[in-house]
Amino acid sequence: MTYATISLDISDTTALLTLKRPDKLNSLNAVMHEELAVALQAVAENTRIRALLLTGTGRGFCAGQDLDERSPSRTPPDLGATLDRWYNPLVRGLRALPIPVVAAVNGVAAGAGVGLALACDVVLAAQSASFVMAFSNIGLIPDTGLTWFLPRLIGPARSTALMMNGGKIQAEDAARWGMIWKCVDDENLRSEALNCAQELAQRPTKALGMIKTALNHCWDQNLDQQLDLERTLQRTAGLSSDYEEGVKAFHEKRQPVFAGH
C-alpha cells in the first residue's frame, strides 16, 4: 500500500514506520491518523514481523495534533470525540501489539507526539531531541496516555510541573529522569535504533509480547494479582518452542536461535 504521510518498510522480520510530514514537524492530521491505523493493522496481521521501529523525518519526531486542522470555528469542537476516534485507538494499538515497538525520537516531540513516543516499549532519542508538554500552552490537558505514562515513568512532582508549565526537557534529561531508555548521539540514532529493533526481532517474540502484557497490567494490580498473571503467562511461555530452544542452547553452550513462537 502507498501512503501519503507515512511509510512502512518491512525488511525481513523488522518493520520501519516513518512519519513523513517534515515541514509540519510530522504533526498528526486526519490522513496521517488514517494511515497509521492501517499500517498498525498491517503490522499486527503480519506474523513475520517481530519488531517495529517508529521514527520521524526531518528535524521533528512528531509535534502532536496538526493545529492547522484546528482553526477556531463557530461550532464548539468535541475533542473527546477526536481522542475516541484517533488518539486512543493509536495508543491502545501500540500497547496491544504483541511485538516490541522501538521509538527513535529524531527531534522535537510535542503534545501528543510525546504520548506517541512513550506508548512505545523502548525509546531512544537523539541528543538534540526534546520533549515538549505543549498541551497547557494551548489550554488543553495532556492526552495520548500521558497522564498515565508520565507519572509512572518520572514521578508526580516532575510530571505535574512539566504538564502545568508546558515545559520542555532535553533528551539527556529525559534519559536521566527515566522517561526514555537512552539518549544517543544524533548521528548514531538511526543505526542504534535499527540495531535495537533488529536484535529484539531475533529474541523470543512470544515471551516479549507477554512481557508487554505483564507490564501493561503491573500498575493497576496488587502483588497477588500480578503473581497470578505471571503464572498464567509463564505457563504459556513454558509451552513455547522458544523456551525449549533456549534451554537446549544453554545446555549445548551455544547461542539460541529463536523462531519467535
For ligand LHQ, the binding residues (CB under 6 A) are 24-25, 27, 63-68, 70, 79, 82-83, 87, 108, 110-112, 132, 134-135, 138, 140, 143
Pairwise CA distance, residues 98 & 113, whole Å: 22
Q: How far is the CB of 177 from ligand LHQ (least distance, A)?
A: 19
Q: How far is the CB of 181 from ligand LHQ (least distance, A)?
A: 22
For ligand LHQ, which is the closer residue by CB, 152 or 168? 168
For ligand LHQ, which is the closer residue by CB, 59 or 217? 59
SS3 15: strand
For ligand LHQ, which is the closer residue by CB, 61 or 258? 61
Sort residue 145 into left (φ over 0), alpha (ψ -120 to 50) or beta. left
If one counts every other C-beta atom within 10 angstroms of the C-beta of residue 225, the result is 12
**Within 13 Å of residue 65, how many CA atoms lie on the same side as its CB?**
19
Q: How far is the CB of 111 from ligand LHQ (least distance, A)?
A: 3
**Among 118, 7, 126, residue whose Cα is nearest residue 60:** 126
If one counts every other C-beta atom within 10 angstroms of the C-beta of residue 238, the result is 9
Q: How far is the CB of 57 from ligand LHQ (least distance, A)?
A: 13
Helix axes 223-238, 205-217, angle to 10 degrees: 170
Would you give the DSSP letter of residue 65? B
For ligand LHQ, which is the closer residue by CB, 29 or 198? 29
Q: In what order do the strands lie in the sheet with 130-132?
A: 60-62, 108-110, 130-132, 168-170
The phi and psi torsions of 100 (rounded to 5 degrees) equal -70, 140
For ligand LHQ, which is the closer residue by CB, 110 or 193? 110
Pairwise CA distance, residues 187 & 145, whole Å: 30
Q: How far is the CB of 243 from ligand LHQ (least distance, A)?
A: 41
For ligand LHQ, which is the closer residue by CB, 64 or 204? 64
Q: How far is the CB of 175 from ligand LHQ (least distance, A)?
A: 19
| CA-based radius of gyration for the chain | 19
For ligand LHQ, which is the closer residue by CB, 180 or 210? 180
Q: Cell numbers at residue 3, please?
A: 501512503
If one counts every other C-beta atom within 10 angstroms of the C-beta of residue 254, the result is 9
Q: How far is the CB of 98 from ligand LHQ (least distance, A)?
A: 27
